[in-house]
Structure 1
Amino acid sequence: MGHVPWLYVTPQHPAPTDVRRWRRHLADEHANIRAFRDLAARRQGEEQSILLSLAQAEERHAQHWVQLLGERAEPAPRATLGHRVQTWLARRFGLVFVLALLQRSKSDNQYADERDAASSMAADEQVHEEVLRGLAARGRLQLSGNFRAAVFGANDGLVSNLALIMGMAGTGVSAAVVLAAGMAGLLAGALSMGAGEYISVRSARELLAASQPAHGTRDALGDLDLQTNELELVYRARGMDKDHARARAADVLGQVQQAGTAPDDAVPAAATEADEQDAVLNPWGAAVSSFGFFASGALIPVLPYLFGMTGLAAAGLAMLLVGLALLVTGGVVGVLSGASPLGRGVRQLLIGYGAAIATYLLGLAFGAAGIG
C-alpha cells in the first residue's frame, strides 16, 4: 500500500462523461473510507490498525479524484443506491458480512482499466482485496460452526419440505393431507437435524478429549533415559520427521534438566484444527440452532396450506416463497464466501426446484397408478 505521488495534470475542460465517471469513483472512495473507519471503531489492536491504514489509502485515492475534478468535486457526490444497500446489510449482518462485501467490491478492481487512475491505485486495490480476505477469514472461522448449522438447517428445511409437499400434492390428495404431511415433515426433519448436530458436536468433543496427552505424561519426562529419548517417538507419531522430532525432544528434555519441569507444550495433542473448531461449539446450542433453522425453513412451503389455500394455487405459492428464500440464503452464502451472490442464489434455487419437480412428478405417477 505504498504511496506514489500522482503525476497527473488536471484537464481544464474535461468531457462531461469523464466528470461523471470521476465523481462516481470519488463516491466509491468516500463510501469505502466510511466503511473502513466504522469497522476500525468496532475493533481493537492489530485489526484496528490495519483498517485505519486501508482508510488512509482510500483517502489518497479520493484526493486523486478531487484534484482531477477541481471545483467540480463540490458538492460532494451522494452515496449510490448500492452503497446505501451495502450499509443497510452491513449493519444487520455484522462485521464478517461487511468485510465480505468490501472484499467482493475490491475483487472487481475498478481501476484496472481506468485510464485516469495511477497504476499504483490499481495495485493498491489488488492488495486491499488480499488484506480484506485475510481479515474476513478470521471472522469466517469464528462463525463457521453456527453459520454452517444455520445455512444447512434452513436450506434442508426449505428443500426437503417443499419436495415432500410437492410430492404429496402431485398424488392428488386433499389439502388437509398435504398440510399434515408438511407439518410432520417439519417436525421429523427438525428433530433429525437437531439430533444429528448434537451427536456431531458431542463426538468432536469426545475425539478431541481422546487426542489430548495423558495427565501423567508431562510429569514422567524428567525420568526418561536421555540416551534412548523415547520422547522422539511421540513427536514422530504426531507427524514430525525423524530429524525434527529428535531435535525437538532434545530441546524439551534440556529444558526439563534445567528447570526441573517440562514446558506446557512438551507433549502436543493429536487433534486437527477442524476438530478443535467443532469442539468449541456447545452441543445443545448447536442442536437447538439446527432444530430452529430447519423448522423455520420447512415452515415456508407449508404457509399457503396453513392459510387455507388448496390445489395448484397453494403449490405454486409454496414454490414461489421457497424460491425467494433460496435466493436469499444462497446470496448470503455467496457474499460471505467472496463469490457472486447471484450465482450462489441461482444455484440454490435450481437445486431446490429440481428436487421439488422430481418429487411432484413421482407424486403424479403414484396418483395415476391409484396409490395416492
Structure 2
Amino acid sequence: MPAPTLPPAAPTARDRRRWAQYLVNERAEARVYSQLADRREGEEADILRALAGAEGRHEAHWLELLGGEPASLPRASFGTSLLGWMAKHFGSIFVLALAQNAEGRSPYDDDPHATPAMAADEKVHREVVRGLAARGRRRLSGTFRAAVFGANDGLVSNLALVMGIGATGVSARIVLFSGIAGLLAGALSMGAGEFVSVRSQRELLAATEPSDFADAALPHLDLDANELALVYRTRGMPEDEALNRARRVIEASKLSDDRDPLTGPVAVASEHEVIGSAWGAALSSFCFFASGAVIPVLPWIFGLSGVAAVLLALLLVGVVLMSTGAMVGLLSGAPPLRRALRQLAIGFGAAAVTYVLGLLFDVTLH
C-alpha cells in the first residue's frame, strides 16, 4: 500500500521573507536587462529583452507563493542594486561581467520552493550573459589591453626606479629627475616599439596581398595551358576548383574588358582596421605608459621627500594597481579582489627588489 502523501507544510515567516527577497531581486534583474537592452540594438537588444522576460516568469512564481503582492517588500540585494546603478552609468560590458557572476551564484539549486526549471533557467542565463559579455570583451580587448598593460608598465617600472634610487640615499631632486627620466624613456620606448610593430605588421600584410599585376594579360592566356589556376591554388583553392575558375575568368576576359574583381587584390581592409594606425598605436602607448609612470613621481613633484614621499608613492600606486587588477578580473569574469591583490603583489614585489638593491649601495649624492 503506498504511503499517504503529506500535505505541504505551511510557509513560515522566514520562508515568506526569503520569497519576498527573491521577488525584488528578480524584478531588479529584469530592470537591469531592460535598461541594457535600451542601450543596445539588433540581436543583442532582443536577447537582453528575452532575459528580462525570463526574470518576469520567476517573479510570477514567487508572487504566486506569496499569494499576491505583499504589503511591504525588502530592498534588493546589494549586488543586484549595484548592477542596476551600473546599468545606468557605465557600459554594458561591466554590467554583463558582474551579471555573469551573479547568475552563477543562484540560490535556486538549494531552495525546495524553487522549481527545477527555474534552477535550470539560471544556469542557462549565465551562459547567455557570458556570451554577451564575450562579445563586448572582444570589441574592447585591443584598446583595453593596450591601456591596462601600458599603464601598469609605467606604474611598476617607475615605482621600482624611484624606490631603488631613493633607497641609495640621494637627494629628493635626483629622485625626481630619475623618475621623470624614467617616465620619458619608458614612454618613448613603448611608443617607438608600438610604431615599429604596427608599421611592420601593416607592411607584412601589404606584401602578402594578391595583386592585379597580371590582370591585363588575362585575354592573351592560353585557355588550355596557363598558370592562372596556380594563382588560385596559392590562395587556398583545391586544384579542380582552381582550374575551373581559371577557365571561367579567361573566357570572360576574352569576351569583355571588365576584369573579374576576384583576380585582383583580396579584400583585407578589415585586417588593416584591426591592426590600426602605426602613429595612433605609438601615441596611445606613449600616453598610457606616461599616465601610469607619473603616479609614483607625484610626491616628489609636489615637494615631498624621504619616508613621506615613499609612503605616499606606495599608497597611490597601490590604489591604481588594485583598481586595474580588479577591472581586469571583472571583465574576465574572475574574482576582482583576487586579481587586484595579485596585481598589487607583482607591483610591490618589483619595487621591493630595487629598494633592497638601493639600500645595498647606500650612496649619498648632493
- TM-score for both structures, normalised by structure 2: 0.84
Q: 1:124-143 counterparts in 2 under 5 A?
A: 124-143=121-140
Q: Counterpart in 2 of 1:209?
A: 206
Q: Does 1:324 align with 2:322?
A: no
The one-letter code of the counterpart of 2:344 is L
CA shift for structure 1 position 186 = 1.5
Number of residue pairs matched by the alignment:
356
The verdict on how the C-alpha distance between 1:16 and 1:308 changes in structure 2, with shifts beyond 3 A counting, is farther
Q: Counterpart in 1 of 2:3?
A: none
Q: Does 1:286 align with 2:275?
A: no
Q: Counterpart in 2 of 1:183?
A: 180
Give the conservation status (yes or no) of the 8 Å contact 1:255–1:262: no
Q: Distance in 2 between matches of 1:110 and 1:315?
A: 46
SS across alignment from 2:294: helix
Residues 56-103 of structure 1 deviation map (CA, whole Å, 9 limit, x = unaligned): 111112222222223464434433332333344444541222222222
Candidates 24, 28, 31, aligned match of 2:28:
31
Residues 119-178 of structure 1 deviation map (CA, whole Å, 9 limit, x = unaligned): 222222222222222222222222222111111111111111111111112111122211
Q: Counterpart in 1 of 2:4?
A: none
Q: Distance in 2 between matches of 1:42 and 1:225?
A: 58
Q: Distance in 2 between matches of 1:88 and 1:182?
A: 39
Give the conservation status (yes or no) of the 8 Å contact 2:29–2:84: no
Q: Distance in 2 between matches of 1:235 and 1:118?
A: 58
The one-letter code of the counterpart of 1:362 is L
Q: Distance in 2 between matches of 1:342 and 1:265?
A: 52
Q: Counterpart in 1 of 2:110?
A: 113
The verdict on how the C-alpha distance between 1:224 and 1:325 changes in structure 2, with shifts beyond 3 A counting, is farther
Q: Counterpart in 2 of 1:100?
A: 97
Q: Distance in 2 between matches of 1:252 and 1:136?
A: 42
Highest CA radius of gyration, 1 or 2? 2
The verdict on how the C-alpha distance between 1:102 and 1:265 changes in structure 2, with shifts beyond 3 A counting, is farther
Q: Distance in 1 between matches of 2:137 and 2:226?
A: 41
The verdict on how the C-alpha distance between 1:266 and 1:120 changes in structure 2, with shifts beyond 3 A counting, is farther
The verdict on how the C-alpha distance between 1:263 and 1:80 changes in structure 2, with shifts beyond 3 A counting, is farther
Candidates 48, 51, 63, aligned match of 2:48:
51
Give the conservation status (yes or no) of the 8 Å contact 2:211–2:264: no
SS across alignment from 2:108: coil
Kindly report the root-mean-square deviation, in angstroms, between the aligned alpha carbons of the 2 structures: 3.3
CA shift for structure 1 position 348 = 0.8
Candidates 335, 342, 346, aligned match of 1:347:
342
Q: Distance in 2 between matches of 1:371 and 1:125?
A: 65
CA shift for structure 1 position 105 = 2.0
Q: Distance in 2 between matches of 1:326 and 1:267?
A: 50
CA shift for structure 1 position 109 = 3.8
CA shift for structure 1 position 227 = 5.6
| Identity value in percent | 54
CA shift for structure 1 position 330 = 0.8
Q: Does 1:303 align with 2:320?
A: no
Q: Distance in 1 between matches of 2:215 and 2:118?
A: 54
The answer for unaligned runs of 5 or more in structure 1 is 1-9
The verdict on how the C-alpha distance between 1:311 and 1:209 changes in structure 2, with shifts beyond 3 A counting, is same
Q: Distance in 1 between matches of 2:231 and 2:189?
A: 40
- TM-score for both structures, normalised by structure 1: 0.82
Q: Counterpart in 2 of 1:333?
A: 328
The verdict on how the C-alpha distance between 1:367 and 1:267 changes in structure 2, with shifts beyond 3 A counting, is same
The verdict on how the C-alpha distance between 1:231 and 1:16 changes in structure 2, with shifts beyond 3 A counting, is farther
